[in-house]
Amino acid sequence: MNERELISLKEDIENAKQKVSELRGERQALMNQLKDQWNCDSIESTEKKLKEKMQSKSKVDERIDTGLRELENKFEE
């Protein structure tokens, strides 16, 4: 390797270090947001809470569908 290649490689390494640092900062900001807004300490707890919310939504959707069918049946009579 010549000097130019080494300098280029050094610049690439420095850029990669900077990018890693930025991504770590973004990750930390997102984790803080999850904690503040959803009271989740980890990705796993977030996934669990999401699953619970989706199940709750499904139950509400079923109740709405049942109510709509009952209304339709009453008005069709």
pLDDT digits (tens, 9 = 90+) for 46-58: 999 999 999 999 9
Based on the number of CB atoms within 10 Å of its own CB, is 46 exposed (0-12), middle (13-18) or buried (19 or more)?
middle
Under the banding of pLDDT at 50, 70 and 90, the label for residue 32 is very high
Tokens 């009579």 sit on residue: 77
For residue 76, what pLDDT is reported?
80
CA distances to 62, 69, 70, 76 from 66, in Å: 6, 5, 6, 15
pTM: 0.65
Would you say residue 28 has pLDDT above 90? yes
- Would you mind telling me the total number of residues written for the chain in this entry? 77
For residue 1, what pLDDT is reported?
83
Under the banding of pLDDT at 50, 70 and 90, the label for residue 77 is low
